[in-house]
Structure 1
């Protein structure tokens, strides 16, 4: 499953669902949490369930409310019968949160085979930072792993997570990096967080390029206009793919070699692994 771009849509705005699905995003996230006021939760649940019951064009997730807010079960009850492709869990705190959500899901589903995968937002509480390594224990239940840069500073009384030029301050760089490594340790998609400046196209392109450079496999979006630049950033260029193919071909032609030269540069086993990964993204 390719997950370069995952586009959020407020669950109480059903008129936007089809537009989001047609945006080019690899997945859409129908949100029942932050973008929906308490008064609109029931209406949002109904709208999301109705949409899920129809024909879907893309992978469709539902972001439920956090486990400590006593609304998760109501969210699951409302939408699980329509079989969302995955559940996004905010304010997750490691494997125990996944297991707790699974208990709720199993109470509403006939068998484990019909359980949707889970995409945790893994850094929204201080305690969550210390549980990132535990996602390996529940990797078979995960669609991927992502992080957030808004709830965590609010939780600890920080004034911001960013420098004046938009870069993350050091604590949130740590949270981002740990999420990246935790995702790869679990063998699941590493999804970078949103870029909040909708009108800053250059900033978005730079951020998405950095995310791919660092090892993220995709990124979340908050507006349809962000989808195309994100997809472009996470799709190798023709030049990248050609060089990767040259490396793969060189090792195929020299099966006993540990080190080779390609275009005048030394390549070895890590380069071969990276080349194969680039080709998997290009296809």
Structure 2
């Protein structure tokens, strides 16, 4: 997947608009976008949204953080609607992931859902403590599918007056971003880049998205429908990357030595793995296009995981 579009869990209008985009996944939000007095009512609205989903889009729910005491109520309301995953904010390491996984075990059994179906995506950098826990992924539930980094809440946690200057993240936030990417790669899950807060700076969004993909992120969160197409395009391999990858794979084909020479340069297995990853992403994009041609009500099918296609 390339794009995760946030949708306030109490806005049917914004949900209907989001369904018409080519976002790979929607994140129906029960946390920051909902006022405290509206959170219980939003659960019922989100449940209705799940029933009215666009089958071409994955559906994730951002629940309230475990320390709020609201997580169980959120899950009780939405799991019967069979979301594809739960986004856990303010996540501080394996303990929080495993607590959520235990909750999901119970609710899936109660709802007649196959055990382990519901994925977990963490928002992994929203507090100083969470950043320090990024490497705490040993013995973590296999439900963990992705790690997203976020800068807005982290600024409050650090006491920072801002997280960007002239469109560039300040040093502590770059550190959190990079640690999230490294932790996700080490855990073998999908690294997801944070939102672009400036809704009208589309060129900045494009540059930020391209940089994220080049660094190793596989998807990006967005907060406005007009960002979706830009992000999707940025996370597609370029023609040049595909052509290079095809040549690398061809050069390695039938070569048992593990080292080849291409254009005067020596290439080894890491180059082959990089090329295979690019071609896998290209294949996922082709799958999306093929799926779209068979559906009048939906426009695309997403890819699922860094090491799996769906």
The two structures have a TM-score, normalised by structure 1, of: 0.94
User: What displacement does 1:12 show?
Assistant: 0.5
Tell me what 1:75 maps to: 74
Tell me what 1:267 maps to: 267
Does the 8 A contact of 1:139 with 1:187 survive in 2?
Answer: no
Query: What is the aligned counterpart of 1:119 among 118, 121, 126?
Result: 121
Helix, strand or coil for the counterpart of 2:61? strand
User: What displacement does 1:233 show?
Assistant: 0.9
Query: What is the aligned counterpart of 1:142 among 141, 144, 152?
Result: 144
* Structure-1 separation of matches of 2:226 and 2:74: 29
* Structure-2 separation of matches of 1:145 and 1:105: 18
User: What displacement does 1:104 show?
Assistant: 2.6
Tell me what 1:277 maps to: 277
Tell me what 2:287 maps to: none
User: What displacement does 1:258 show?
Assistant: 3.4
* Structure-2 separation of matches of 1:129 and 1:100: 19
1:69-91: CA deviation from partner (whole Å, max 9, x where unpaired): 11111111111111111000000
Does the 8 A contact of 1:52 with 1:82 survive in 2?
Answer: yes
The two structures have a TM-score, normalised by structure 2, of: 0.86
* Structure-1 separation of matches of 2:259 and 2:100: 47
Task: Give matches, 1:227-238, under 5 Å.
Answer: 227-238=228-239
1:81-103: CA deviation from partner (whole Å, max 9, x where unpaired): 11111000000001000122223
* Cα RMSD (Å): 1.6
- 4+ residue runs of structure 1 moved beyond 3 angstroms? 263-266
User: What displacement does 1:191 show?
Assistant: 0.3
User: What displacement does 1:237 show?
Assistant: 1.4
Q: Do residues 168 (structure 1) and 166 (structure 2) align? A: no
Structure with bigger RCO (C-alpha 8 Å, 6+ apart): 2
* Structure-2 separation of matches of 1:137 and 1:229: 37
Q: Which runs of 5+ in 1 are unaligned?
A: none
* Structure-1 separation of matches of 2:68 and 2:95: 16
Tell me what 2:212 maps to: 211
Tell me what 2:44 maps to: 46
Does the 8 A contact of 2:101 with 2:141 survive in 1?
Answer: no
1:4-25: CA deviation from partner (whole Å, max 9, x where unpaired): 1000000000122232122111
Tell me what 2:106 maps to: 107
User: What displacement does 1:239 show?
Assistant: 2.0
Task: Give matches, 1:125-136, under 5 Å.
Answer: 125-136=127-138
Query: What is the aligned counterpart of 1:37 among 17, 35, 38?
Result: 35
* Paired positions, count: 279
Distance change >3 Å, CA 83–CA 183, structure 1 → 2: same
* Structure-1 separation of matches of 2:108 and 2:269: 45
Helix, strand or coil for the counterpart of 2:220? strand
Task: Give matches, 1:83-94, under 5 Å.
Answer: 83-94=82-93
Helix, strand or coil for the counterpart of 1:281? helix
Q: Which runs of 5+ in 2 are unaligned?
A: 284-310
Tell me what 2:225 maps to: 224
Q: Do residues 188 (structure 1) and 174 (structure 2) align? A: no
* Structure-1 separation of matches of 2:98 and 2:260: 47
Tell me what 2:10 maps to: 12
User: What displacement does 1:38 show?
Assistant: 1.3
1:106-148: CA deviation from partner (whole Å, max 9, x where unpaired): 3323176155111010111111112111224225111211111
